[in-house]
Amino acid sequence: MQPRRVKRILIGAFAGCAVLADAGAAAAQAAASNEQVAISTPPAGATAWVADHSFGAALPDPATAGAGAVAAFFASLDHSRTERLLADYPLVVGNLDGAPLALRYRANRIAITAERDRARARAADRTLDATTRAVATARANDTDHLLADGRQILAFDPRGRGLVSEVFGDLATAQRVAVLVPGSDADLGHFDQAADPLRSPAGMARALLAEEHAQAPGTRTAVIAWTGYVTPSGLGPDAVTSRLAAIAAPRLQRLLAGLSATTHPDAPPTLLCHSYGSVVCGTAAPALKGGPTTDLVVFGSPGMGVDTAAELGSGVQVWASRNPTDWIGNVPYLEVGGLGHGSDPTAPGFGAMDVSSAGANGHTGYLADGTASRHNFAAIALGHYGDVTHPTPER
């Protein structure tokens, strides 16, 4: 049998298992989804930034400069030069890990305003077809919401479906930091959903922060909703391969390096990785070594690309949760010819700490109020490991 045909059959098998669990809407998604174009290059404007020698010294290359070097560069600037970079290169400054947090928030506000205005102009352009204008209207609305008072946008990239990361809490002074890594269909248009907030990264981050405040009101906490990579769309080919995760992992590693240079929590940021996001975290995990152990929580996971937690290295402590109504449990936990994501992280032989999700329903209900998973995820992020509950044998 032809290798491509084998691959198509296996993709269908993986998607089909999920479809049986999640019925018609998932089937439509699987049929319509296409492979996504991943963003692996530096932000827009980086080429002009690197070519700009008007400061008398080379600007740090966004593609190669480490977070420490970036932090040192900005610390060397006076106010006027900082303001000039902010005005000329907001997309670079706003996405440069290691740059001062407050400066990134300001830069991204400038970049988001420009994208909103561009989208509004396209939406009003009667020379464009109706579909193009509708897409522009949606983009204008999505970006306008990010400009509300008090929002702290840590990263913004308008390319493709749009990438956005937001901080909840005071990241500069936080004693405990958590990074929420979402799965499929997370992008600018689905970043913050009012109707069903727990289906969106921003909604999950708000829920986690609220639970942390409830459990430890005296602890300064911050949660980052990180949609810093191109996620799979629906249940198509990208959902069953690690291609997008392999491109996302270095971006997640750069985020963490930037946080190390610009924040000072009591422990490394906790990673909370939902669905395909756990594939991203599994791919990034081996590089998280040489320092204190990072807590890595996976929930609704299709696998982490390995057979055991030991393969992820000694730099992470893996915690895993899946509720019995989550359709992801019906997806084959295996890897065949590059398809699939390895063993079930909640299986006893995997080596993760199994975390109770009592009360949670479906694939996106883990951070619903009153669930054991919401309580446990916050306890782990706070370092209150003795408060974490584990599944009963009947689960």
Identify the pLDDT of residue 386: 97
Residues of the chain under the 70 pLDDT cut:
1-34, 393-395
Q: What is the pTM of this model?
A: 0.91
pLDDT digits (tens, 9 = 90+) for 65-84: 999 999 999 999 999 999 99
Per the CB < 8 A criterion, the answer to whether 319 and 390 are in contact is no
Identify the pLDDT of residue 119: 98
Structure-token match 């983009």, residue found: 139
Calpha distance 158→191 (Å, rounded): 13
Identify the pLDDT of residue 332: 84
Identify the pLDDT of residue 261: 96
Calpha distance 223→270 (Å, rounded): 9
- Topology of the domain covering 3-32+161-387: Rossmann fold (3.40.50)
Identify the pLDDT of residue 57: 81
pLDDT digits (tens, 9 = 90+) for 289-303: 888 999 999 999 999
Identify the pLDDT of residue 393: 66
The crossing angle, in degrees rounded to 10, of helices 79-88 and 101-123 is 30
Q: Where are the domains of the chain?
A: 3-32+161-387, 46-137
Identify the pLDDT of residue 256: 98
Calpha distance 114→99 (Å, rounded): 21
